[in-house]
Amino acid sequence: MRWSWEEFFLRQNQPASDGTGFGLFSAVHLGVLALLAVGVAVLVVGYRRADAGRRRRVRVVVGWAVLMLEVLRQVAYLASGTYTADILPLHVCGIAAVAVFVDALRPNRWTGDFLYAVGWWGALAADLFPDWADRPILNIFTWQSFSIHALILGYVLMLLVGGDLVPDLRNLWRVAVLTAVFASLGALANHAWGTNFWFLNTGAPGSPLQGIQDLSGSFYIPVLIVLIMILWTLLYLPWAVRAHRRAAAS
């Protein structure tokens, strides 16, 4: 892995030199994941032990941090004159970043369940299978990507562990509506500008999506829809059983 100071501000929509990427599941990547895991654990444990007032402050700080990481990314591309359509915040985690900010300021049934059903595992998958693995590790945009996804994951986990987010099967229709709307926007953008929002055209290299696409071929999108429905069932089933047992006990 080679590196030079020119790589520090290299944009993610610009080609990187051969040999400068940190590599998927390399020692560097695993080290970064371990560091992020420690940070998320500290955030979750701290939130779990905090009182109501401190929890509110933590949510707001995380919400603003996530929003500003995305805003600064957008501004950096605009200011440098390197903005392209694929920088638009239309990916799953771009939507989740806004959802975290909204939820931090005003918790509600739309953003809470969307972050649980879509946001946290999307952010986790992004850090586990980063499509920026061919970029230098000592790069400001690389760390912006790692950090914002870790914060999205940490936000959802701290609410779940703290008991402030209780997924409700009755809210799943809201998740379906938001997912359909934003995925459709991504699909329209992909058609207009040749982008790959929500990875609807091509699965991220080295990720499970690539394997799914290789196996499903032209049925890639229908298979994704079925898999998401199965995942939502697995995610909500324990909460539905819990709610049923509590109702029966009372």
Residue 137: phi, psi to the nearest 5? -75, -35
Q: For 151-178, what is each residue's pLDDT tens digit?
A: 999 999 999 999 999 999 999 999 999 9
**pLDDT value of residue 4:** 65
What are the C-alpha distances in Å from 142 to residues 6, 8, 29, 35?
Answer: 14, 9, 11, 14
Confidence of residue 2 (pLDDT cuts 50, 70, 90): low
Q: What mean pLDDT value characterizes the chain?
A: 95
Single out the residue of 72, 83, 205 nearest to residue 148, CA to CA: 72
**pLDDT value of residue 3:** 53
**pLDDT value of residue 16:** 83
Single out the residue of 157, 159, 206, 198 nearest to residue 181, CA to CA: 198
**pLDDT value of residue 247:** 85
What are the C-alpha distances in Å from 7 to residues 10, 68, 99?
Answer: 5, 23, 31
Q: How many domains does the chain have?
A: 1
Tell me the C-alpha distance between 134 and 24, whole Å.
8
Domain that holds residue 154: 5-249
* Residue 25 Rama label (left phi>0; alpha psi -120 to 50; beta): left
**pLDDT value of residue 191:** 97
Report, as an integer, the average pLDDT of 52-68: 98
Tell me the C-alpha distance between 110 and 177, whole Å.
10
Confidence of residue 205 (pLDDT cuts 50, 70, 90): confident
pTM: 0.96
Q: For 171-183, what is each residue's pLDDT tens digit?
A: 999 999 999 999 9
Tell me the C-alpha distance between 97 and 122, whole Å.
11
Q: For 117-163, what is each residue's pLDDT tens digit?
A: 999 999 999 999 999 999 999 999 999 999 999 999 999 999 999 99
Q: For 210-242, what is each residue's pLDDT tens digit?
A: 999 999 999 999 999 999 999 999 999 999 999
* Residue 153 Rama label (left phi>0; alpha psi -120 to 50; beta): alpha
Q: What is the identity of the amino acid at 203?
A: G
